A and B are shown apart, each in its own frame.
Chain A
Amino acid sequence: MKRVNKLLSVFAAGVLFAGALAGCGGGKDAKQDAIKIGGCLEMTGGSASFGISSKNGIELALKNVNQKGVLGGKKVELVVADNKSEASEALNAMQKLISQDKVVAVIGPNLSSACIASSAINNAGKVLAITPMGTNPDVTVDPKSGKTRDYNFRACFIDPFQGTVMANFAAKEMGLKRAAIMIDNTSDYSKGLATFFKENFIKNGCEVVSEEAYLQKDTDFKSTLTKIKATNPDFIYIPGYYQEVGLIIKQAREIGLNIAIAGGDGWDSAKLPEIAGKEALNGTFFCNLYSPDDTSDLNKNFVAEYQKMFNAKPDVFAALAHDSAMAIVKGIEDAKSADPAKVAAAMAKIKDLQGVSGAITFDDKHNPIKSAVIIEHVDGKQTFKTKINP
């Protein structure tokens, strides 16, 4: 018996090593005629839904592109590497895409911290990375030198704009006067939105009556909410992510806080109605980059095809990843080459590229200039409320 165990363990170790070694040989037998773009995406971990939607959006974009091909009929294919929703793993995945898979350009990551960490790799490798949703200003601009990073782009607008949009919307369109803010203290994104919301809300002659903080993965918010209720606000601003926001909204309604609640694009997930409950979501708004109910023809086609392919409504990650892929394809066509550095140079010059989330023009900081939408939850469904131009 002892001998069998020993053999078994040797065998198990052998199998594992064989698997590991097989990995070393990968990526060399790639087809020469296909142009590869990488997806450094959140396939597992805390933000897995971001990465999966993005992947779907890119696949749809490439399916349409590949009907006629680029650069005289060449196919474009997507290689996905999982960044596990974490910065050092994103760097690892980015390195793999660039040095193993030799991609022309990379889409992702979606998390700002992962973008900033991996920017060192893709700038050294002279391969562009476009983040669908990394909203932190430092993603495309090096904070130390204040210079734009040559090979980093984004398809979304930056944080300050969202906070400003929501403050103006709440004060002017909804006529609200007393806001409470709940900040996710583990997230820079949340802090950034809150700062700009507060500044602009006060500028509109309104008042911020309380400011509370929570941490990611917290599950009980009732004591915080009771404290907020005591300050008698007519509006709560929660620029957080959907897991906690869902629970906060649910618990707010449970303690009888039936006022308007609003937030940023971190709310955008099909899971939010599941977590919060459909009824609790009535009277909640968020600012987003994209709404599937947008009435442009391009978007209508995109939504129809997406529903056919994936049997779900596209979310903002899908739409922006789709537009990111379109921008890269446009870059390849404009550069008339699949050389990564030339594609990056061509991308920086893109003007008025029609995407499903609006027209894309990159400014000198590689940020697109585009409009924002306000979305309201009605019976658990996201409905397009209004569009606000920059």
Chain B
Amino acid sequence: MNQIRKFDLALIAACAAIFAGLQGAIFTGIIGPFWELNIILICINIILAVSLNLINGYTGQFSIGHAGFMAVGAYTSAVITVKLGLPYELGLVVATISAGVLGFLIGLPTLRLNGDYLAIATLGLGEIIRICILNIDYVGGASGLMGIPRLTTFAYVFWIMIAVIFFIKNFKNSAPGRCCLAIRENEIAADTMGINTTKYKVLAFTLGASFAGTAGALFSHYFFLAHPASFTFMRSFDILTMVVLGGLGSMTGSITGAILLTFISAFLSDFPEWRMIIYSVTMIILMLYRPQGLFGNKELSLKMFGLGGKHNG
């Protein structure tokens, strides 16, 4: 136990060093506004990917409606800051809670489904959320909610990302987290062992949804707007692609996937005609040769390269 805590502290220290480095580079202009934007986008995508990984990777429930929860977070936080004039921090909290509550309400009935049926149900729900927003004139309807101030800074995004990563990492190692893993491995066996499968599935789904809400709030307050077209199922698929590319069930995999795909997308903006092709070819090759994703369900560590100590499940 002590060792894990020491390791965590070392990790946080490393994160602080990375933060200081990046923030310094942004201040001095070594990283220009364009790459700053993409680094922030990467952080937002990491939050989305690790939170989806909690549902899809750790608990084994195939959800593809993540963009819907992101939209809820984006809009609720925007309503709080723009329409009600309340502070941004409150917006972040309320966005997280409201997306979580919605995730809970939606999770209760749908998580009784499994496999393909759950995927279809969550896909539908993501679209329902988007269409609802589209028809609410209070939040701008089809033209979206404009005029949101840019309150998201690199510091906000980075530390919220670190908090989410650590939360999910520790959740995995907690008793409820182990229950989620058991459900992924074999739901019937887990049920027989006395695990309340519905409870833990809904728990994971609610947590994942609420973090997506946080990401949505960060997103809308960086890009000045919340627009229904930003939260289509294509974005859900983008997030899913990040998770699958990195390896379902691997947190470091999700992080790597989010970084890689965001970078590729930024890099390929010069070659729009090739973007889709390169994107798809990468996916096909990966699925042919490494169907379990880059890291499988293992975590990236020094041990992976044959260095370091004993194997840690």
Interface residues of A (CB under 8 A from B): 5-6, 8-9, 12-13, 16-17, 19-20, 22-24, 26, 43-44, 80-82, 84-88, 91-93, 95-96, 98-100, 112-113, 116-117, 120, 136, 138, 143-144, 185-188, 191, 215
Interface size on B, residues (CB 8 A): 46
| Contact across chains for A16 and B260 when beta carbons are under 8 A apart | yes
| Contact across chains for B272 and A117 when beta carbons are under 8 A apart | no
| Contact across chains for A185 and B134 when beta carbons are under 8 A apart | yes
B276 cross-chain contacts in A, Cβ below 8 A: 44
B41 cross-chain contacts in A, Cβ below 8 A: 92
Closest to A46 in B: B229
A91 cross-chain contacts in B, Cβ below 8 A: 37, 223-224
Closest to A26 in B: B270
Beyond A17-B263, A88-B225, A215-B131, 8 additional pairs, beta carbon < 8 A: A12-B285, A19-B263, A44-B276, A85-B229, A92-B37, A113-B229, A143-B146, A191-B142
| Contact across chains for B225 and A87 when beta carbons are under 8 A apart | yes
Q: Out of A6, A23, A99, A215, which one reaches B266, CB within 8 Å? A: A23
Q: Out of B33, B142, B260, B264, which one reaches A95, CB within 8 Å? A: B33
| Contact across chains for B33 and A88 when beta carbons are under 8 A apart | no
Instruction: Scan residues 77-136 of chain B and give those whose CB is less than 8 A from a CB of chain A.
Output: 131, 134-135
B269 cross-chain contacts in A, Cβ below 8 A: 81-82, 92-93, 96
Which stretch of B7-15, B175-183, B201-209, B286-294 is in the interface?
Answer: B286-294
A22 to B270, CA, bound (A): 12
Is B57 among interface residues, defined by CB-CB distance under 8 A?
A: no
Closest to A188 in B: B143
| Contact across chains for A16 and B282 when beta carbons are under 8 A apart | yes
A82 to B278, CA, bound (A): 15
Q: Out of B143, B264, B268, B275, which one reaches A113, CB within 8 Å? A: B143
| Contact across chains for B144 and A87 when beta carbons are under 8 A apart | yes
Interface 0/1 of B208-227, CB less than 8 Å to A = 00000000000100011101
Inter-chain residue pair count (beta carbon < 8 A): 123
Is B256 among interface residues, defined by CB-CB distance under 8 A?
A: yes
A112 to B140, CA, bound (A): 14
Is B147 among interface residues, defined by CB-CB distance under 8 A?
A: yes
Closest to B33 in A: A99
Give 5 pairs: A residue, B residue, CB < 8 Å, sorted on A: A16-B263, A88-B225, A92-B266, A113-B229, A143-B147
B273 cross-chain contacts in A, Cβ below 8 A: 43-44
A84 to B235, CA, bound (A): 12
| Contact across chains for A88 and B230 when beta carbons are under 8 A apart | yes
| Contact across chains for B134 and A186 when beta carbons are under 8 A apart | yes
With A13-B260, A88-B219 known to touch, is A116 a contact of B272 (CB < 8 Å)? no
CB distance from B137 to the nearest CB of A (A): 10
Is B166 among interface residues, defined by CB-CB distance under 8 A?
A: no
Q: Out of A23, A88, A116, A215, which one reaches B263, CB within 8 Å? A: A23
| Contact across chains for A9 and B294 when beta carbons are under 8 A apart | yes
A253 to B273, CA, bound (A): 36
A16 cross-chain contacts in B, Cβ below 8 A: 260, 263-264, 282
Closest to B304 in A: A6
